[in-house]
Amino acid sequence: MNNQGKTGIPESEINQRVEALLAKMSLDEKIGQLNQVSGADFSPGPKAVDVIRKVGAGSVLWLNDPRRFNELQKIAVEESPSGIPLLFALDVIHGYRTIFPIPLAMAASWDPAVAEQSQAVAAREARAAGLHWTFGPMLDIARDARWGRIVEGAGEDPFLGSAMAAAQVRGFQGDDFADPERVLACAKHFAGYGYSDGGRDYDPVYLSEAQLRNVVFPPFQAAIKAGVATFMSAYMDLNNVPATGNRWLMRDVLRNEWGFDGFIVSDAFAVINLVIQGYARDGREAALRALDAGLNMDMASGAYLDNLAGLVNDGSLTMAQIDEMVRPILALKVRMGLFEHPYVDETLLEKVVARPDHRQAARLAAQRSMVLLRNEGGLLPLSKDIQNVAVIGPLADSMEATEGSWMVFNHKPAAVTVLQGIQAKLPGVSVAYAPGPEIHRDIPHPFGEFDSAEKKPPQTAEEAESAYQTALETARGADLVIMVMGETADMAGEFASRGSLDLPGRQEELLKDIHAMGKTIVLVLLNGRPLSIRWAAENVPAILEAWEPGTEGGNAVADILFGDVNPGGKLPVCFPRNGNHAPLYYARNITHLPESSPRYRSRYWDDLPTPLYPFGFGLSYTTFSIDNLKLSAAQVKVGESLTVTADVTNTGKVAGDEVVQLYIHQKWGRDSRPMRELKGFERVTLQPGEAKTVSFQLGPDELGYWSTHAGAWIQEAAAFDLWVGNDSTATLHAEFAVVG
């Protein structure tokens, strides 16, 4: 059983309790369990309370209020026909009240422990609020930074993505579904969502089975191995079949091949959307196709509630098919102990969020996720004795931009901003500040309609120009200028794709004008996706990628800028020179005119296609050497493992972290193979002069692949290159062979 929560309840008893429940439930009650009802006022359709009272519901989403949870739970447990408790669910993607770095930033730590610890704190707070289930981790591999939801995943690489997937599931779920400080996790969005054409959110996806199996699926498989309780089907068409009605994905692959025995919830309204996508004639057919394809729970569309009884009564579906979908939902509720403990202590949340270790964990995660992209002349770390410093930029004092996208309902931003973090680091120094002109989306975010917070009217052109001049004046009076730029929280995430990766608004213009004053500039980026900061990359001496770092983000930025912390993060996704180059990624197949060819010039006549910053890149305040590469054998048999070791040494003057990375390339085979693929990494902390030997295993899991030719997983006898280094351009090279 994949869902091996250690509830102490023997499996046989769980099955007995589930069957006993099923035996006494009416068809309507069973269908109620397959329905996730919206608790939000903005949702159409019948009110949650009426549905729950009449037939019960599997779950309630888009509600975030312990008191309301208990009210609805009381109705479910005491007034609904079968008294089955509800699962309360919400998107807790990178923190509930204590906000952690966005998942893309967690991946940039290359430290699964950071992801696990962050999600464990998020789970504790969410559960204390009365939530049982989060719609995370998001596992979509993304190689087109124009796609707004790249912010929610682990970037471009399935090996790093798999490590982060397993770590987040462990963090959310722990190892016991009955643990009152954990929540059910949800591997989403199954599958291929990150490949929407042009990075346009929701657009159709066309992927070969080889791309699905070698790139898209591994993080989902890692989540299953880690015991993930639920999956979420994606919105979009995959090869002309919407994921929410895709039997191959949900039955053939997920259940029959991978043995997943939890349950699958659709994305929001995705069942009834099958009609819009032209995959179903009407709601009845949408419900039939989704259930037949293996979808357990309909998120908020009501299509199951409206149609399943009729489908059973007219013989289109059998009671056995309904029971099959209900079983895993009931089993998880039994495993969680919800029948014995359905209610939340309404005084618990404030005690839990007040835990000092929560903010400490958030600060550590933010410190470990930041990536130093440039540090010409060792400008950083700055001295704490500096005077006359100015902090400038529209995000410098923005709590929203610091906490980032995907906040839970009615979250009140409470982040320490970069300006506040710098001021706290420099007591007694008057830090000048000017935001410059505001930045905002050209097309407002549709979710903004649901946000009850009163909205400031946008700046007028005159106000913006005045703000611009004030920023210039403020910079003029300073010796050192810390520019805090990037994207606002609503510029990445859902409904947040964009055609360009440039700095929005007049940010780059302001940067250039202040640079033209001859000022020393440090650029701090707050953003949810790679940005094409090519002018800054050539002209600004120090650049720190801080992502959307969460509640302690400002303190973590200051910790790094002033040397209390040495940055050790690495990019989980490359930064293209130009947004038009997307999709861009390192693990590409070699062409007949490779970059290594003397005849090679470029793939475009108007630009170089190489990234501004490659996958796996990140600087430090110290230096490292990686050498003494050794292989346990020059060749191994198919099915055997090879051990690769290398020594990493801190050759600088301060302690620091290095991420040692291992890449392989199968030189020939029944399929062409990528020129490099990450197959091992380890982040190590070393004192000055200290050395450590890191060791990696290469076995069938790392050396095998899904072959288009064979239509199956294969491992071949072939020659391999391998490289070990500190980013995807590593040059320390060795070769080995796999023999038949």
Among 237, 494, 559, 677, binds ligand GLC (CB under 6 A): 494
Task: Say how far apart CA 144 and CA 316 lie, in whole Å.
Answer: 41
Task: Say how far apart CA 641 and CA 701 lie, in whole Å.
Answer: 9
Task: Say how far apart CA 133 and CA 213 lie, in whole Å.
Answer: 27
Scan for tokens 């906040």, then name that residue. Answer: 407
Dihedral angle, C-alpha 239, 240, 246, 247, nearest 10 °: -80
Amino acid type, 538: E
Task: Say how far apart CA 32 and CA 600 lie, in whole Å.
Answer: 62
Choice between 89 and 565, CB closer to ligand GLC: 89
Least Å distance, CB 188 to ligand GLC, is 6
Q: How many CB atoms lie within 10 A of CB 278?
A: 10
Least Å distance, CB 253 to ligand GLC, is 20
Looking only at residues 115 through 154 of this chain, which bind ligand GLC when binding is defined by CB under 6 A? Answer: 135
Among 108, 122, 224, 268, binds ligand GLC (CB under 6 A): 268
Among 188, 327, 358, 506, binds ligand GLC (CB under 6 A): 188
CB 366 within 8 A of CB 513: no
Q: Which two tokens stand for residue 77?
A: 């447990």
The angle, 0 to 180 degrees and rounded to 10, between the axes of the packed helices 553-561 and 356-369 is: 50
Burial bucket for residue 70 (CB in 10 Å: 0-12, 13-18, 19+): middle
Choice between 265 and 612, CB closer to ligand GLC: 265
Catalytic-role residue among 157, 201, 267, 298: 267
H-helix or E-strand spanning residue 59: strand 59-61
Choice between 91 and 702, CB closer to ligand GLC: 91
Choice between 279 and 575, CB closer to ligand GLC: 279
Choice between 202 and 736, CB closer to ligand GLC: 202
Each residue of 608-617: b (16+ CB within 10 Å) or e?
eeebbbbbbb
Task: Say how far apart CA 290 and CA 321 lie, in whole Å.
Answer: 12
Least Å distance, CB 471 to ligand GLC, is 36
In total, the chain counts a number of residues equal to 740
Q: Give me the residue whose beta carbon is nearest to ligand GLC.
A: 135
Q: Which two tokens stand for residue 369?
A: 């996720």
Least Å distance, CB 232 to ligand GLC, is 6
Among 140, 156, 157, 267, binds ligand GLC (CB under 6 A): 267
Task: Say how far apart CA 580 and CA 582 lie, in whole Å.
Answer: 5
Cis peptide before 381 (omega within 30 of 0): yes
CB 534 within 8 A of CB 577: yes
Choice between 186 and 664, CB closer to ligand GLC: 186
Choice between 170 and 188, CB closer to ligand GLC: 188
Choice between 91 and 400, CB closer to ligand GLC: 91
Choice between 148 and 337, CB closer to ligand GLC: 148
The three-state secondary structure class of 97 is coil
HSE, side-chain direction, 13 A CA sphere, residue 160: 35
Q: How many CB atoms lie within 10 A of CB 264?
A: 27
Least Å distance, CB 692 to ligand GLC, is 39
Alpha helix stretches (DSSP H) within 517-652: 534-539, 553-561
CB 375 within 8 A of CB 466: no
Cis peptide before 583 (omega within 30 of 0): yes
- For strand 718-725 and strand 656-666, is the pairing parallel, antiparallel, or unpaired? antiparallel
Q: How many CB atoms lie within 10 A of CB 605?
A: 6
Least Å distance, CB 454 to ligand GLC, is 23
Is residue 156 a contact residue for ligand GLC (CB under 6 A)? no
The angle, 0 to 180 degrees and rounded to 10, between the axes of the packed helices 303-313 and 283-293 is: 80
Least Å distance, CB 141 to ligand GLC, is 15
Least Å distance, CB 302 to ligand GLC, is 15
Least Å distance, CB 53 to ligand GLC, is 24
Q: Give the rounded distance of the alpha carbon of 202 from its chain centre.
A: 17
The three-state secondary structure class of 39 is coil
Choice between 29 and 494, CB closer to ligand GLC: 494
Closest CA to 675 of 613, 611, 726, 723: 723
Choice between 107 and 480, CB closer to ligand GLC: 107
Q: Give the rounded distance of the alpha carbon of 113 from its chain centre.
A: 15
Choice between 84 and 270, CB closer to ligand GLC: 270
Least Å distance, CB 268 to ligand GLC, is 4
CB 438 within 8 A of CB 451: no
Least Å distance, CB 496 to ligand GLC, is 12
Choice between 233 and 375, CB closer to ligand GLC: 233
Does the annotation count 282 as an active-site position?
Answer: no
The three-state secondary structure class of 619 is strand
Q: Which two tokens stand for residue 311?
A: 């489908």
- For strand 389-392 and strand 480-486, is the pairing parallel, antiparallel, or unpaired? parallel
CB 303 within 8 A of CB 287: yes
Task: Give the number of residues in contact with ligand GLC, rule: CB under 6 A.
Answer: 6
The angle, 0 to 180 degrees and rounded to 10, between the axes of the packed helices 553-561 and 418-425 is: 50
Least Å distance, CB 235 to ligand GLC, is 6
Among 91, 116, 157, 545, binds ligand GLC (CB under 6 A): 91
The three-state secondary structure class of 251 is helix
**Enzyme catalytic residues:** 267
- By CB under 6 A, name the binding residues for ligand GLC: 91, 135, 188, 267-268, 494
